[in-house]
Amino acid sequence: MLALAKIAQAEASVAVGEYPEPSPGPGEVLIKMQAAGICGTDMQIYKWAPRMRARVAVPRILGHEMAGHIVEVGEGVSRLKQGDFVSLESHIYCGHCRQCRSGQAHVCQNLGYPGISIDGGFAEYTVVPEQICWVNPPDLDPYIAAMLEPYGISVYASAVGAGVAGQSVLVNGCGPIGMMNVATARALGAAQVLAVDPNPKRRAMAEQMGADRTLDPFAEDVAKACLDMTRGYGIDVAIEYSGTPEGFEACTASLRKGGEFRLVGGPPGEHPVTFANWIYKAITVHAVHGRRLWGDWVLGQDLLAAGKVDLSPLVSHVLPLSDSAKGFDLILAGEALKPILVPD
């Protein structure tokens, strides 16, 4: 079968090749891929970021944003059946640790990931544990189904803490999930949504997804804009996606006293923080990792089914699996938002 894999311990080094078709073991299912999305984690593996070097054994078939139909089930599989149309949750959780037993399986002590700890979904066929499959309506658009995993992050970031209903919201960083968060915050009743990104194409898309205002952080002061929008109080909820120290500081500076900082994309290296400022403002911090299982999936599906969120504008390119490595080049060139891979 065709698959896109990381083939060497170096930057780039991804290629499409022929691999043996896998078979499901006990508790596993075999899925025929219908659509899969390239995401920021895949880009980190592509760039061979330090945090990935100890986690990814090569060769490794990449991809965890994937949807497809089950074609075979392994021994002991009881919930799923042949023909089910499923999306993947990327967190393979043990079910036995303290976190799993207390409703926090998304931060399981022993987490594994498709495309990192096992072969992933950038392939004609993939095998995953039954536990990470979400069953979709059979008529759901495969491109949308492939984006449910990252979409769930935006749902978590919008719903955690005090939520967003009636709140002013800053979304800092308009990659695909930041864009999704603009739409999700709007759907969940945010009073105002400000989207920040230096890329004019992404700012335009953020407006299409529902932002009241967008700005370029290199041309305008984010904190000042938040004060202007909120009669001098500051923003209620700041959600950080940029992964930059500057974005981190802009979020905390923009918050009102008693506001909430929801951290999704943290700076990759060390970054000094003046915690006295946080104490003075009485900021509440929520670290958002993945999605809460399975509540954020349920809420996200409800918003999609009600027509309150439309993810389709985010699909920028559709590439056959045989030409899938091109998706990384498109992202690096700033030309792609969400490349979707499909079978040849």
Q: Do 160 and 70 share a structural domain?
A: no
Domain assignment present for 305: no
Q: Do 130 and 159 share a structural domain?
A: no
Domain assignment present for 141: yes
Q: Do 142 and 240 share a structural domain?
A: no
Domain range spanning residue 64?
2-147+311-342
Give the count of beta carbons closer than 10 Å to the beta carbon of residue 3. Answer: 28
The residues, ordered by sequence, that sit 6+ positions from 3 with a Cβ below 8 Å of its Cβ are 16, 17, 18, 19, 61, 119, 122, 123, 124, 321
Domain assignment present for 297: no
Which 8-state DSSP code applies to residue 20? P
Whether the pLDDT of residue 283 is over 90: the answer is yes
Domain assignment present for 299: no
Q: What CATH number has the domain bearing residue 248? A: 3.40.50.720
Q: Do 141 and 158 share a structural domain?
A: no
Question: What is the rounded average pLDDT of the residues 268-282?
Answer: 91
pLDDT at 119: 98
Domain assignment present for 300: no
Whether the pLDDT of residue 266 is over 90: the answer is no
Q: Do 243 and 327 share a structural domain?
A: no
Domain assignment present for 298: no
Q: With cut-offs at 50, 70 and 90, classify the pLDDT of residue 27.
A: very high
Q: Do 80 and 22 share a structural domain?
A: yes
* pLDDT tens digit sequence for 310-328: 999 999 999 999 999 999 9
Q: What CATH number has the domain bearing residue 44? A: 3.90.180.10
| Residue-averaged pLDDT of the chain | 97
Q: Do 184 and 123 share a structural domain?
A: no
pLDDT at 330: 96
Whether the pLDDT of residue 269 is over 90: the answer is no
pLDDT at 268: 80
Whether the pLDDT of residue 334 is over 90: the answer is no
Q: Do 196 and 118 share a structural domain?
A: no
Domain assignment present for 41: yes
Q: Do 115 and 170 share a structural domain?
A: no
Q: Do 163 and 36 share a structural domain?
A: no
Mapping DSSP to helix (H, G, I), strand (E, B) and coil, where does residue 218 land? coil
pLDDT at 329: 96
Number of domains into which the chain is organized: 2
Which single residue is written with the structure tokens 């070097």?
53
Domain assignment present for 292: no
